[in-house]
């Protein structure tokens, strides 16, 4: 039997399961704090990862894998490097190996998802769809074992018969993988169906490699001691916890569950420190609150539209401000060392009107933004539509935009987290310079209310919704990453 070289041990471990939208860096670090030995990232699709560029984020002290649309697909840090498992969704051996080689120096192990029954995973022949193609399973795992320096594992579900399941896992073991995680339900079963401890036990007694038991949150695991009971019931080497950890990550703590308020505040602190997108932070907190979503705090969380508002809802407003100042200071220090990277988006800045402004969405109507006001004014004045030119700074991946209106350029001197926010700031500079309304709360522009306008910025942490393009949108210039020499695709309003 082939054995890949590795140092990570899968015996007698408490493991945070891969969970879509939940297994991002803040949750993984929180699970480690509370006693998890190994943490899995959420399933990430091979095709998406292969579009990513590895970026060292010196401001956050992280390694980011960044998609062409500038969304951070996977973020990790040194703290978890020896204990984080990268789980991919794949249906192709060569693509899987390419992804493994892309991330292997930043993670402790590589896992292939062969158990997810959801359509987003199975429609491309990934996840549980692989269970019906043992030849493909063998090729993917064998290729990974031979081609990467990290331990390779996979996560499966049980098949319709125990005989078929045992036949499959024995074939999987022969590929040389380090361990196998088994969700004790069939592909068509859901959490309300009982988990089959007997099937997991049979697998554990058949194989010589570690078997990781999964699927016990609904029936078996409500507190720390239940994890060991589940391990003994399945005869597994280790236990992987999903929903029970999502509800309260302190499930891994020997001393018992911590109060939810304390856990959520600790999670929020990590989310702010590592610049987690607020929509992802909000989603994870909602999973923790569950039946308390209708409480006063739950309603504040539901209404929050930024990381700052989430912090304020949990009494962490001062922490947010302090952390933001620290990150800004670190960013300024790094820029001082590399002044050439602080380049201005405008080639010639002599005729650019500048102001230090930012777009704070809380100060504007959800249906009206400065860009809309500027476009409407240009139409009324029969001027050419505003043209935005946006650049991204490599050091901290912040954006700055210049808008040209009637041959005059306008720019905010403050760099922002997204292309959209930078463009809104540039529009504000133009409108204020011209003494025009910018759409702030309390301002009235009847012509704008008659139109169907843009929604607030979409979540860059998840699939982007299709946004309506305004007439003439395609005349906008694409943003350019400074130093890259390459153009990126246009983003919507």
Active-site residue list: 116
Q: Exposure string (b/e) for 223-245, b if CB count within 10 Å is 16 or more?
A: ebebbeebbebbbbbbbbbbbbb
Q: Is 275 left (phi over 0), alpha (psi -120 to 50) or beta?
A: left
Find the length of the chain.
493
Q: Alpha-carbon distance 214 to 181, whole Å?
A: 7
Residue pair 209/173 in contact (Cβ under 8 Å)? The answer is yes
Q: Which two tokens stand for residue 200?
A: 């997991």
Rounded to 5°, angle at Cα 221 from 217 and 227: 120
Biggest CA-to-CA distance, the chain: 78
Two tokens at 167? 């036949």
> Which CA distances in Å does 155 have to 116, 215, 240, 247?
9, 11, 10, 22
> Cβ distance 127 to 114 under 8 Å?
yes
CA separation (Å) from 181 to 120, 299, 406? 21, 38, 62
**Alpha-carbon distance 77 to 235, whole Å?**
33
Phi, psi of 334 (to 5 degrees): -65, -40
Half-sphere exposure of 488 (CA within 13 A, CB side): 22
* HSE toward the beta carbon, residue 87, CA cutoff 13 A: 25
What angle separates helix 162-173 from helix 197-206, to the nearest 10 degrees?
A: 40
């Amino acid at each position: 039997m082939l054995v890949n070289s590795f140092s990570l041990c899968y015996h007698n471990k408490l493991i945070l399961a891969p969970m879509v939208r939940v297994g991002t860096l803040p949750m993984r670090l929180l699970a480690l704090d509370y006693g998890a030995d190994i943490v899995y990232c959420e399933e990430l699709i091979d095709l998406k990862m292969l579009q990513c560029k590895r970026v060292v984020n010196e401001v956050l002290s992280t390694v980011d894998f960044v998609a062409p649309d500038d969304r951070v697909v996977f973020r990790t840090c040194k703290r978890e490097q020896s204990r984080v498992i990268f789980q991919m969704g794949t249906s192709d051996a060569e693509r899987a190996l390419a992804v493994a080689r892309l991330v292997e120096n930043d993670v402790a192990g590589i896992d292939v998802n062969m158990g997810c029954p959801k359509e987003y995973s199975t429609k491309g022949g990934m996840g549980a769809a692989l269970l019906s193609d043992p030849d493909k399973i063998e090729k993917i795992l064998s290729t990974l074992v031979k081609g990467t320096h990290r331990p390779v594992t996979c996560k499966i579900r049980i098949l319709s018969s125990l005989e078929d399941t045992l036949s499959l896992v024995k074939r999987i073991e022969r590929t040389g993988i380090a361990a196998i995680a088994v969700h004790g339900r069939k592909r068509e079963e859901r959490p309300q169906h009982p988990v089959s401890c007997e099937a997991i036990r049979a697998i554990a007694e058949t194989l010589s490699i570690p078997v990781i038991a999964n699927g016990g949150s609904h029936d078996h695991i409500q507190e720390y001691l239940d994890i060991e009971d589940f391990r003994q019931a399945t005869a597994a080497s280790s236990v992987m916890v999903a929903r029970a950890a999502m509800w309260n990550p302190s499930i891994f703590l020997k001393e018992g569950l911590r109060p939810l308020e304390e856990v959520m505040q600790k999670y929020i602190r990590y989310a702010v420190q590592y610049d987690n997108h607020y929509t992802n932070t909000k989603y994870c907190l909602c999973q923790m609150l569950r039946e308390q979503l209708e409480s006063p705090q739950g309603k504040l969380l539901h209404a929050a539209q930024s990381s700052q508002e989430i912090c304020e809802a949990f009494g962490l407003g001062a922490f947010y401000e302090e952390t933001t100042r620290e990150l800004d200071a670190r960013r300024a220090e790094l820029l001082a060392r590399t002044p050439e990277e602080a380049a201005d988006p405008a080639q010639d800045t002599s005729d650019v009107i500048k102001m230090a402004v930012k777009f704070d969405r809380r100060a504007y109507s959800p249906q009206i933004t400065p860009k809309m006001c500027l476009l409407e004014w240009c139409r009324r004045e029969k001027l050419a539509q505003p043209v935005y030119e946006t650049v991204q700074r490599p050091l901290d991946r912040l954006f700055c935009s210049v808008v040209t209106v009637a041959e005059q350029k306008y720019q905010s001197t403050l760099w922002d987290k997204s292309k959209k926010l930078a463009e809104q700031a540039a529009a504000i500079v133009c409108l204020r310079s011209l003494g025009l309304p910018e759409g702030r709360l309390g301002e009235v522009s009847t012509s704008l209310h008659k139109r169907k306008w843009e929604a607030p910025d979409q979540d860059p942490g998840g699939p982007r919704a299709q946004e309506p393009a305004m007439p003439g949108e395609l005349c906008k210039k694409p943003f350019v990453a400074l130093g890259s020499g390459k153009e990126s695709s246009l983003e919507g309003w």
